Amino acid sequence: MNMRKWWPYFAIGGAAVVVMLAYPAYFNWWDHKNCSDSGGTWNETRDECVEPKNAKFESSGSPAFEDDNQTAK
């Protein structure tokens, strides 16, 4: 059996396996990180972030973006 014909299939299959394992793990980590950064706690039973009561989320846009979209009235 000539394995040179099969290497692209093995490479694509290997990449697909890595993506299928890494994708959920990465986004699980990302959700937990964002939850802790916002001051919340992760509820494992509901699988969601519980934000503190009366939490205020303040964000400012990108200064360059804000300046570009200001129109003189």
Task: State residue 11's pLDDT score.
Answer: 94
pLDDT digits (tens, 9 = 90+) for 8-53: 999 999 999 999 999 999 999 998 888 888 788 888 888 888 887 7
CA distances in angstroms from 62 to 43, 65, 67, listed in the order given: 32, 5, 9
CA 31 from centroid of its chain's CA atoms: 7
